[in-house]
Amino acid sequence: MALNFKGLPYTTTWVALPDIPKVRSSLKVPPCRKFADGTDFFTLPIIQDPATDSLVGDSFDIAVYLQKNYPDSGAGDLFPPQTIDYVFENEFTLLVPLSDCRDSDFPEYARFNVNVDAAFSAHAQLTVGGFPFNQATAEATKAEFVRRAGVTCWEDFALEGEAREKTKDSFRSMLGDLAKLFLRDTNDACNSAEE
């Protein structure tokens, strides 16, 4: 989305989940997360910018990179000055490590990123059962999910009955809270149109 917002040309290369560690390691892009035992947790996306010969991984770090290197491109500032008071209060066990709130030129957005990461990670179990796996890598992908989550088998991800309904209700509530941040303040639009 940040590349589109900035109006920058790009191509996409899809990587199967089991290949992510190998691809990220081969590009020498360090992981931005660690498992509880301290081992590397490799994620995508990664961008390769031939204009600066840079490789950057993690969505937030990519957005920061694009804003710093292409401040005047596209639709404007990816990090406009504003108050972002979204905090996700987690009541679920997270199955994957979260992004760290790393030092950033945009600390309010860095905190927001960590909270959004937690919000979606807490509800990821809702989606696992319906993933449209590539049949060629389905078993390896499921094994990687099991390894990453530290569970014993794929069936451990099953979320049914009352537990599923509770998680769905929480997800709806979380999305509603998050959506409030994206409401347009029409008062500002009207005031600036009158000037």
Q: What is the pLDDT of residues 163-188, one digit of tens each?
A: 999 999 999 999 999 999 888 666 65
Residue 73 is given by DSSP the state: S
Residue 8: give its domain's CATH number.
3.40.30.10
> What is d(CA 90, CA 121) in angstroms, rounded to the nearest whole number?
10
pLDDT of residue 70: 98
pLDDT of residue 63: 96
- Asked if residue 190 is part of any domain, the answer here is no
What is the domain extent for residue 60?
A: 1-78
Nearest C-alpha neighbor of 6 from the set 54, 84, 69: 69
- Nearest Cα neighbor of 86 from 181, 182, 183 is 181
Query: Whole-model pTM?
Result: 0.83
Give the three-state DSSP class for 33.
strand
- Classify residue 54 by its DSSP letter: E
pLDDT at site 35: 77
Positions in the chain short of pLDDT 50: 189-195
Containing 57, the helix (H) or strand (E) segment is strand 54-57
How many folded domains does the chain comprise? 1
Task: With respect to residue 108, please indicate whether it lies within any of the assigned structural domains.
Answer: no
- Residue 190: predicted pLDDT: 47
pLDDT value at residue 163: 93
Burial class (CB in 10 A: 0-12, 13-18, 19+), 12: exposed
Q: Look over the chain and give the mean of its residue pLDDT values, rounded to a whole number.
A: 87
Cis peptide before 9 (omega within 30 of 0): no
Q: Is residue 28 part of a domain?
A: yes
